[in-house]
Amino acid sequence: MKRLLLPLLAALALPTAVNAESHWLILTYGQGKSYTTAALEKIEMENAEACGKEGKRWKDSSTQESLELHRSFHCVVGK
């Protein structure tokens, strides 16, 4: 038991590296030039690269209705 106690205490006492950053994709869209109708959505992403890729995919999407929808995105780093 003594052989296991020292390594266990050492493992608990030593700090471990933790990535506390989170990446968020913020999607926005609005109708018309004055954004009379607008929406916002946030999605947590794996990393900044995935955030940019999905944001570009959102902005360039061809599923826009006949209404003039203005789409944009922002990638935000949080903690």
pTM: 0.64
Q: Please check the confidence at residue 14 and state whether its pLDDT lies above 80.
A: no
What's CA 62's distance to the chain center, in Å? 22
pLDDT of residue 18: 58
pLDDT band for 67, please (50, 70, 90 cuts): low
Cβ burial of 51 (10 Å; 0-12, 13-18, 19+) is: buried
In tens, the pLDDT along 16-66 reads 555 578 999 999 888 766 666 778 899 999 999 999 999 999 888 876 555
